[in-house]
């Protein structure tokens, strides 16, 4: 195959069996790669009701047809059934692992079963072996990175690994690689830990064959032109190229949507202390980027040079770090936030979930719902960064009060009770992230209907394309009214717009092209991607074909969750987001009319408005007739059980 | 005269050497007038904000406004460059 390597690597940790399977051509065409391959595999293999931490659950690492080409970023997707939500969960990691896996000859790795002792997987081109990892079990991610590279004698080996949090089955644990490239919120690392799999190491010496190199280069130049730091028509391309995403904090502040003190307000008085400008001026050492990325500095290597956290060195401070470990917790001490970010990465827990959970605990403490007797003596007040750092460790190791928080904010608040569930900020059990649901109609809807729970990365950027950046013929064909979709004073057209945004971003996730990079012309004009994928693979794709893949993937993801009992009842927001508007700032008073927005969204999707589940007609249109059969059978079984009880 | 607040984010903080400042403008001053004034004072504002061909705001950078007690909105969704400024307005350049 061209573009794809044409091979699925199957690893059964229970039996030690490793085999290689040909990538079916129809799967490549219908799902493209990464996110699409993964949900197709997960849906096909898992029976409804599988216990997420049992050997029956699987972990799928998927790459796309563009990984390993000069156009492909280092993105890839890991997907599994979440121990935190009971639904599927996926993480989109950057770095260098995905192209290396392609160079070794594989598109997908499927991990099944459970090893009887700690192991790691070593892939060197065609040679694949399961190796003992007893000596690295308990080590941090950074130690693991170093030990495996030294052991195998190659500093260029690419890795995905878990830290102590994944080993300890922490629900908010994540999988990392390249020291700071993280993904898999909802406990993907706990699933990996449950399988006794510490790491996957890969080194490849092959390449990715391009079917029509000259056409591919033309498409590549079109896409790169869109990403040019000086020439791009997107407002974020240039500023992220210098500051990285921490620059958005002051923008959020000015729009009144910087979640502060567990989302009690949208303005953080000390924002200047944790701003992107402050970060760049005093802590950045050098820029960092993924494989072949055109953005000079989405990430940075940074260092704290003085004070109590002097000597802290880490990578990948994002807006998410300074929000979740900063304003959410009322913390304005940037060195402590950097230290917290480093700890999260080294111990292998997610910053968003950790910050949101600690912020909830701080609010519960300040409201007298919990006391220092519950918190191992910690004075959990907003702004107490020493307490936050201690809690991060406690969560990763499930020590004392940290054991409660290690299950995530939903379960922790249910155990504590006393009204604390009202300010536990999550959707479907997954903690709130980044884009405030009270910032716009689209943001609220985006969080509520997201199939893996609260998350901003599957609908990014969360605003409509600029008519100045997108060719007029594309603007005219958009399946929503751009003017109304851009007017946030009204709810109109937001359902149609979000459907388009979810579908188009799902397509990019299948291609494993970075969402941060498709923001100006290619935000809405997919013709350059169609040209690139056609030239790379030799299979003919139009822009409409690509969009249909995204829609198919979204429908299959929703169907996976529907099999687990999910529906409209789960498409909701924390009570705070529905009933407590901000009292000050640039969005004071706004609350999203969620039910109206849900109706719009289901209508745009062609889903049943009462259940929020895809209809047979819609699934049939997308070639998912068998999925419709299964959902109907399950619905009848459920009805039968229900009738029997009556 | 009207007192207005200016917030400079990212490269606008580099152009001005400031994160924010307060200035006074005459009644009926428009956003366009303000950009001309900032161009004269600091340079780089017109190149960053105005489309050479159309003379309108480009899509590469943003100007937002928050009226006292109101929501923050991009001025392109309001009256654009012709919008008149009032006492207490906050303008955000990013």
pLDDT tens digit string along A413-445?
999 999 999 999 999 999 999 899 999 999 999
Identify all chain A residues contacting B61, using CB atoms and an 8 Å cutoff.
235
A633 in the same domain as A560: no
Q: Angle A625-645/A543-563 helices, nearest 10 degrees?
A: 20
* Token pair for A114: 């459970």
CA-CA distance, B94 to B89, in Å (whole number)? Answer: 16
Are A609 and A629 members of one domain?
no
Whether the predicted pLDDT of A234 surpasses 70 = yes
- What are the start-end ranges of the E strands in A429-573? 430-431
Q: Is residue A597's pLDDT more than 80? A: yes
Pairwise CA distance, residues A239 & A225, whole Å: 17
The SS3 of residue A623 is coil
Q: What is the pLDDT of residues B27-51, one digit of tens each?
A: 999 999 999 999 999 999 999 999 9
Q: Which of A49, A72, A234 minimizes the C-alpha distance to A638?
A: A49
Q: Among A238, A272, A469, whose Cβ lies nearest the Cβ of B11?
A: A238
Residue in chain B lying closest to A485 (CA): B77
Which chain B residue shows the shortest CA-CA distance from A246? B10
- Same domain for A497 and A623? no
CATH number at residue A449: 1.10.599.10
Which residues on adjacent β-strands are paired with residue A21?
A8
Looking at the structure, tell me whether residues A630 and A584 fall in a common domain. no
- CB B10 to CB A277 under 8 A? yes
pLDDT per residue as tens digits for the range A485-532: 999 999 999 999 999 999 999 999 999 999 988 889 999 999 999 999
Residue A32 lies in a domain: yes
Dihedral over alpha carbons A246, A248, A249, A254 (to 10 degrees) = 160
A597 with A628, same domain?
no
Answer yes or no: do A86 and A181 share one domain: yes
Do A632 and A542 belong to one domain? no
Run of H or E including B20: strand B20-25
- A467 lies in some domain: yes
Token pair listed for A2: 């061209």
Q: Which residues contact A346 (CB under 8 A, 6 or more apart)?
A: A140, A141, A142, A163
Calculate mean pLDDT across residues A525-547.
98
Residue A550: closest CA among A596, A492, A498: A498
Q: What is the residue range of A500's domain?
A: 441-615
Identify from A266, A443, A585, A586 which residue to disrupt to test chain B contact, counting B C-beta atoms within 10 A and taking the largest count.
Answer: A586
pLDDT at residue A180, as a whole number: 94
Instruction: Report the distance separating Cα A393 and Cα A407, nearest Å.
Output: 14
Contacts of B17 (CB under 8 A, 6+ apart): none
Which residue, A610, A631, A611, A635, is CA-closest to A619? A631
CATH number of the structural domain spanning residue A76: 3.60.9.10
Nearest to A232 among B7, B60, B66 (CB): B60
Nearest to A199 by CA among A170, A218, A177: A177
Q: Is residue A445 located within the same domain as residue A591?
A: yes
The two tokens of residue A89 are 């969960």
Q: Decide if A238 is inside a domain.
A: no
Residue A42 in domain: yes
pLDDT of res. A258: 98
Assigned domain for A457 exists = yes
Distance set, CA A366 to CA A132, A189, A330 (Å): 47, 32, 12
CA A220 to CA A234: how far, in whole Å?
Answer: 18
Q: Are residues A587 and A567 in the same domain?
A: yes
Indicate if A543 and A622 belong to the same structural domain.
Answer: no
Domain count, chain B: 1
Calculate mean pLDDT across residues A615-622.
Answer: 98
Domain hosting residue B43, numbered range: 2-93
Q: Which residues in chain A have their CB less than 8 angstroms from residue B10's CB? A: 239, 242-243, 247, 276-277
When the pLDDT of each residue in chain A is averaged and rounded to a whole number, the result is 96
Test B19 with A256 for CB contact under 8 angstroms: no
Q: In the numeric block, which tokens belong to residue A52? A: 């997420």
pLDDT band at B66 (very low <50, low <70, confident <90, very high): very high
Q: How far apart are CA A159 and CA A161, in angstroms?
A: 6
Q: How far apart are CA A389 and CA A523, in angstroms?
A: 38
Domain annotation covers residue A253: no
A123 alpha carbon, distance to own chain's centre: 25
A470 and A450 together in one domain: yes
Distance (Å, rounded) from C-alpha A258 to C-alpha A436?
7
Contact list, B50 vs chain A (CB under 8 Å): none
State the CB neighbour count (10 A cutoff) for residue B13.
20
| Sequential DSSP letters for A150-169 | HHHT-TT-EEEE--HHHHTT
Q: What is the pLDDT of residue A96?
A: 97
Tokens of residue A528, six digits: 């350059």
Residues of B in contact with A235 (CB under 8 A): 59-62, 94
Same structural domain, A611 and A629: no
Kindly list the residues from chain A whose CB atom is less than 8 angstroms away from the CB atom of residue B62. Answer: 235
Count: domains in chain A: 3
CB–CB of A176/A164 below 8 Å? Answer: no
Structure tokens at A325: 């470990």
Residue where the block lists tokens 């391959």: A37
pLDDT computed for residue A646 by the predictor: 52
- CA proximity to A1, closest of A97, A102, A136: A102
Interface test with B, best of A232, A239, A482 (most B CBs within 10 A): A239
pLDDT reading at B18 higher than 60: yes
CATH classification at residue B36: 3.10.20.30
Q: What is the DSSP code (8-state) at residue A173?
A: B
Q: How far apart are CA A573 and CA A564, in angstroms?
A: 20
* Residue A131 token pair: 């190796």
pLDDT beyond 60 at A100: yes
Which residue, A72, A3, A73, is CA-closest to A539?
Answer: A3
pLDDT at A233: 87
């Amino acid at each position: 195959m061209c573009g794809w390597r044409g091979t699925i690597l199957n690893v059964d940790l229970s039996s030690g069996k490793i085999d290689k399977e040909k990538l079916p051509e129809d799967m490549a065409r219908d799902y493209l790669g990464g996110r699409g391959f993964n949900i197709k595999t997960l849906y096909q293999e898992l029976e409804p009701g599988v216990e997420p931490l049992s050997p029956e659950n699987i972990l799928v690492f998927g790459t796309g047809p563009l990984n390993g080409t000069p156009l492909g970023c280092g993105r890839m997707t890991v997907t599994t059934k979440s121990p935190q939500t009971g639904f599927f969960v996926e993480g989109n990691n950057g770095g260098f692992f995905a192209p290396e896996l392609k160079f070794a000859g594989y598109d997908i790795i499927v991990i099944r079963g459970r090893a009887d002792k700690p192991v790691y997987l070593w892939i060197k081109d065609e040679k694949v072996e399961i190796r003992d990892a007893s000596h690295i079990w308990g080590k941090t991610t950074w130690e693991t990175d170093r030990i495996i590279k030294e052991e195998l004698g190659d500093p260029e080996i690419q890795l995905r690994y878990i830290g102590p949090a994944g080993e300890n089955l922490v629900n908010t644990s994540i999988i990392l690689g390249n020291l700071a490239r993280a993904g898999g919120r909802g406990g993907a690392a706990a699933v990996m830990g449950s399988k006794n799999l510490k790491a996957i190491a890969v080194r490849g010496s092959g390449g990715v064959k391009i079917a029509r190199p000259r056409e591919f280069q033309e498409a590549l130049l079109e896409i790169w032109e869109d990403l040019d730091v000086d020439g791009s028509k997107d407002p974020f391309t240039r500023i992220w190229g210098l500051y990285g995403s921490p620059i958005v904090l002051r923008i959020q502040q000015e729009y009144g949507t910087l979640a502060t003190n567990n989302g009690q307000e949208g303005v953080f008085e000390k924002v200047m202390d944790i701003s992107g400008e402050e970060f760049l001026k005093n802590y950045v050492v050098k820029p960092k980027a993924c494989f072949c990325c055109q953005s000079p500095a989405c990430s940075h290597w940074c260092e704290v040079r003085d004070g109590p956290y002097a000597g802290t060195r880490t990578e990948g401070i994002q807006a998410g770090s300074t929000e979740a470990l900063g304003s959410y917790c009322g913390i304005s001490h940037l060195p402590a936030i950097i230290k917290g970010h480093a700890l999260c990465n080294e111990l292998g827990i997610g910053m968003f979930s950790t910050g949101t959970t600690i912020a909830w605990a701080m609010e519960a403490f300040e409201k007298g719902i919990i006391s220092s007797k519950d918190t191992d003596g910690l004075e959990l007040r907003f702004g107490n960064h020493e307490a936050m750092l201690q809690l991060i460790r406690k969560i990763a190791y499930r020590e004392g009060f940290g054991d409660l928080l290690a299950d995530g904010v939903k379960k922790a608040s249910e155990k504590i009770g006393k009204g604390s569930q009202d300010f536990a900020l999550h959707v479907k059990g997954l903690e709130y992230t980044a884009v405030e649901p009270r910032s716009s109609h689209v943001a609220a809807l985006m969080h509520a209907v997201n199939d893996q729970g609260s998350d901003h990365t599957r609908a990014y950027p969360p605003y409509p394309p600029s008519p100045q950046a997108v060719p007029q013929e594309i603007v005219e064909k958009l399946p929503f009214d751009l003017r109304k979709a851009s007017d946030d004073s009204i709810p109109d057209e937001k359902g149609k717009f979000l459907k388009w945004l979810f579908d188009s971003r799902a397509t990019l996730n299948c291609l494993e092209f970075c969402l941060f990079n498709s923001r100006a012309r290619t935000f809405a004009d997919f013709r350059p991607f169609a040209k690139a994928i056609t030239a790379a693979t030799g299979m003919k794709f139009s822009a409409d074909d690509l969009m249909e893949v995204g829609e198919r993937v979204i429908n299959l993801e929703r169907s996976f969750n529907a099999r687990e009992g999910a529906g409209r009842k789960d498409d909701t927001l924390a009570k705070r987001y529905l009933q407590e508007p901000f009292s000050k700032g640039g969005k004071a008073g706004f609350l999203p009319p969620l039910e109206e927005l849900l109706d719009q969204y289901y209508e745009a999707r062609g889903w049943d408005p009462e259940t929020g589940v895809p209809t047979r007609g819609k699934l049939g249109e997308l070639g998912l007739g068998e999925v419709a059969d299964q959902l109907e059978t399950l619905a009848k079984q459920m009805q039968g059980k229900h009738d029997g009880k009556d | 005269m009207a007192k207005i607040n200016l917030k400079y984010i990212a490269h606008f903080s580099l152009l001005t050497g400031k994160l924010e400042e307060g200035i006074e403008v005459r009644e009926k001053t428009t956003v366009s007038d303000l950009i001309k004034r900032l161009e004269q004072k600091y340079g780089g504002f017109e190149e960053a904000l105005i489309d050479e061909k159309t003379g309108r705001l480009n899509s590469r950078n943003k100007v937002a406004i928050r009226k006292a007690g109101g929501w923050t909105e991009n001025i392109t969704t309001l009256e654009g460059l012709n919008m008149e400024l009032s006492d207490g307005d906050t303008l955000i350049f990013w």
